[in-house]
């Protein structure tokens, strides 16, 4: 039996930091952000639909997607974000589930699905356990502005495009509180996996 863990959080709470630990321990991680980049490669169906919907203003000179330009549009306008989600989410979900099913049919012990919008997109049905990477909202804002070198205003646009991390915390099977040191988070993660019968 494969245990399927849904790893989530909100923007900049530390999902990648935690998923990198799992990758270092050789557990398979299926990353929604990586897949969201695959499905918009030039010539893919989602790419064509994005150009048809948002116009060539969201392309770079070489024709590839200008992520910053598209981000500036969709994080300022919920109806445009919904349009983008309608184009991309079914395709991201399909690829993620195909990869999950491959791991399950190979009977691996554990597979992790790293999905920022696990709750927003109702994807928690596809996993056995939900692990939320939590930090207090003030730390989230501080880390996001520093990591992406953006203003608090821009950071809040992105934060407010998701369910608040304080609410996700209550929906989780368990949380890693990533407000302390990386080592403290790693210790919490090891304990959680051990509780779920996975040796690290
Ligand atoms: C708008 C885009 C082009 C901006 O690209 P950019 O490189 O700046 O950001 P990146 O993709 O690395 O996402 C960073 C974080 O933003 C948040 N985020 C991304 N898309 C969304 C969204 N539609 N709604 C809410 N939050 C989002 C997530 O926390 C994600 O981890 C891109 O985020 C995108 O294509 N989004 C739609 C697909 C999607 O929902 N991806 C999220 C994972 S399923
Ligand atoms: N425990 C920690 N202490 C200090 N800084 C941290 C800690 N964990 C993560 N960070 C930093 O906080 C920022 C956000 O972390 P990370 O990129 O892992 O978040 P994320 O949830 O994957 O973000 P996104 O939703 O954008 O994909 C990064 O700059 C990271 O280096």
Render each residue's pLDDT in the chain as its tens digit; 200 residues.
999 999 999 999 999 999 999 999 999 999 999 999 999 999 999 999 999 999 999 999 999 999 999 999 999 999 999 999 999 999 999 999 999 999 999 999 999 999 999 999 999 999 999 999 999 999 999 999 999 999 999 999 999 999 999 999 999 999 999 999 999 999 999 999 999 999 99
53 among annotated binding-site residues: no
59 C-alpha to ligand 2 centroid (Å): 28
14 labeled part of a ligand binding site: yes
Q: Under the phi-then-psi rule, with left for phi > 0, alpha for psi from -120 to 50, and beta for the rest, what region is 49?
A: alpha
Q: Whose CA is nearest to atom 29 of ligand 2?
A: 147
Ligand 1 atom closest to the CA of 68, numbered from 1:
8
Which domains can be identified in the chain, with CATH numbers?
Answer: 3-195 (3.40.50.300)
For residues 75 and 161, the answer to whether their CB atoms sit within 8 Å is: yes
- Other CB atoms within 10 Å distance of the CB of residue 63: 11
* pTM score: 0.96
């Amino acid at each position: 039996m494969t245990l399927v863990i849904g790893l989530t959080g909100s923007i900049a709470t530390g999902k990648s930091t935690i998923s990198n630990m799992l990758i270092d321990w050789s557990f398979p991680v299926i990353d929604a952000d990586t897949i969201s980049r695959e499905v918009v490669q030039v010539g893919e169906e989602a790419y064509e639909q994005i150009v048809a919907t948002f116009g060539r203003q969201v392309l770079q000179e070489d024709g590839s997607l200008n992520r910053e330009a598209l981000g500036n549009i969709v994080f300022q306008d919920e109806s445009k974000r919904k349009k983008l989600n309608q184009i991309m989410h079914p395709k991201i979900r399909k690829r993620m589930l195909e990869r999950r099913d491959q791991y399950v049919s190979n009977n691996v012990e554990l597979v992790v699905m790293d999905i920022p919008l696990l709750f927003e997109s109702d994807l928690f049905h596809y996993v056995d356990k939900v692990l939320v990477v939590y930090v207090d909202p003030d730390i989230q804002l501080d880390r996001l502005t520093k990591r992406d070198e953006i203003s608090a205003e821009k950071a809040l646009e992105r934060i407010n495009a998701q369910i608040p991390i304080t609410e996700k915390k209550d929906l989780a099977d368990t949380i890693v509180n990533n407000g302390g040191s990386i080592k403290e988070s790693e210790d919490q993660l090891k304990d959680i996996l051990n509780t779920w019968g996975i040796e690290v």
